[in-house]
């Protein structure tokens, strides 16, 4: 069994929520784990030596999916958001299935950068808790050697220039790519999922009857060491029961969670300095947003109007 639908990006844009919203739909079959990371480039940090396209081809991909399917299933899918940045994924996902569809979820690139920064600072602990967003932006641009071993963190700003990556995907797969916005999923999840269902010809009414909660949100942690232990524990096979994981997540968040993110993508505790950095970063992304509008054939007015005009400066 192989995928005929892949959610291929972007990180911190709602791909985990979309993956889980679809998982129990009777016409959908999810991969055994959300991110197979099978089509990673060999030089990317998420490349897996024991399971990858370079060494095992299309045949090895099958191990990531259920061995049997219900006859009513129309789509077998996975969600690896870093595929957006991978040459291997772009060039070879089409080898899996001649009817392959590729989905991208995008959010305002400045918000995505800030969310990724907070995620790295709290959820995975790869950025110092005492570092401000603006100071971090200074660091990765002026002192890149500090982040040589943290390629994904070092590419945080670069990865928001969506047009640089999507243009190649549209050229390679002109009739396979669909692009959605994180903001639409966040603001109107039922409407979003019903629209998605209509495009992919599955029953949209299913999404009227289930709870559509946010998944993989960035959280402020009280104790980073405890959080790293929690993440390590969740990777153990004996805690993969969905009920056990849900119960454990609830207890953990009660113990170690400081607070959730604000609805507009900027946390309530963001400093004035960080807000200014966000506005300046949004100005840097503005030409790319305009180019993305041309590529998608749609206006991204909410993105362009979100942040007040700020001078173009080197952060």
Per residue in 183-241, pLDDT (tens digit) is 999 999 999 999 999 999 999 999 988 877 655 555 455 554 565 565 456 545 455 44
Mind listing the pLDDT tens digit for each residue in 9-57? Answer: 999 999 999 999 999 899 999 999 999 999 999 999 999 999 999 999 9
pLDDT-based confidence at residue 153 (cuts at 50, 70, 90): very high
Contacts of 201 (CB under 8 A, 6+ apart): 74
Report the DSSP pairing between strands 75-79 and 5-9. Answer: parallel
CB atoms within 10 A of CB 245: 13
CB 16 within 8 A of CB 215: yes
Q: How many residues does the chain have?
A: 315
Nearest Cα residue to 278 out of 141, 139, 113: 113
CB 34 within 8 A of CB 105: no
Tell me the H-state helices in the chain.
15-23, 53-61, 87-92, 109-118, 133-142, 151-154, 162-172, 182-187, 189-199, 224-234, 242-256, 272-296, 301-306
Q: What's the pLDDT score for residue 156?
A: 94
CATH architecture of 5-108+158-215+289-306: 3-Layer(aba) Sandwich (3.40)
Considering just the CA atoms, what is the radius of gyration of the chain in Å? 19
CB 250 within 8 A of CB 213: no
Q: Enumerate the β-bridge partners of residue 101.
A: 5
First to last CA, the chain: 47
Lowest pLDDT segment from 102-116, 135-149, 184-198, 240-254: 240-254
User: Exposed (0-12), middle (13-18) or buried (19+): which is 201, by Cβ within 10 Å?
Assistant: exposed
pLDDT-based confidence at residue 262 (cuts at 50, 70, 90): very low
Q: What's the pLDDT score for residue 311?
A: 46
pTM over 0.85: no
**274 has pLDDT over 50:** yes
pLDDT-based confidence at residue 244 (cuts at 50, 70, 90): low
């Amino acid at each position: 069994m192989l995928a005929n639908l892949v959610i291929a990006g972007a990180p911190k844009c709602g791909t985990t929520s979309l993956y889980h919203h679809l998982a129990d739909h009777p016409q959908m079959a999810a991969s055994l784990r959300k991110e197979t990371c099978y089509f990673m480039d060999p030089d990317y940090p998420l490349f897996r030596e024991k399971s990858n396209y370079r060494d095992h081809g299309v045949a090895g991909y099958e191990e990531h999916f259920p061995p049997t399917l219900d006859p009513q299933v129309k789509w077998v899918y996975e969600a690896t958001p870093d595929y957006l940045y991978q040459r291997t994924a772009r060039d070879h996902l089409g080898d899996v299935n001649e009817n392959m569809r590729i989905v991208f979820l995008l959010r305002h690139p400045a918000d995505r950068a800030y969310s990724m920064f907070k995620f790295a600072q709290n959820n995975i602990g790869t950025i110092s808790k005492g570092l401000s967003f603006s100071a971090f932006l200074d660091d990765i641009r002026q002192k890149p050697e500090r982040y040589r071993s943290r390629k994904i963190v070092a590419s945080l700003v670069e990865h928001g220039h969506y047009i640089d990556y999507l243009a190649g995907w549209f050229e390679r797969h002109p009739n396979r790519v669909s692009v959605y916005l994180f903001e639409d999923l966040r603001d109107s999840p039922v409407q979003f999922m019903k629209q998605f269902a209509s495009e992919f010809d599955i029953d949209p009414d299913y999404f009227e009857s289930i709870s559509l909660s946010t998944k993989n949100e960035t959280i402020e942690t009280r104790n980073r060491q405890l959080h790293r232990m929690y993440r390590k524990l969740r990777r153990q096979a004996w805690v993969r029961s969905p009920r056990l994981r849900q119960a454990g997540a609830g207890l953990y968040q009660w113990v170690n969670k400081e607070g959730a993110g604000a609805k507009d993508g900027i946390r309530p505790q963001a400093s004035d300095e960080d807000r200014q950095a966000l506005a300046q970063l949004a100005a840097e992304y503005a030409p790319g947003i305009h180019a993305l509008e041309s590529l998608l054939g749609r206006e991204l007015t909410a993105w362009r109007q979100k942040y007040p005009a700020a001078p173009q400066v080197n952060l």
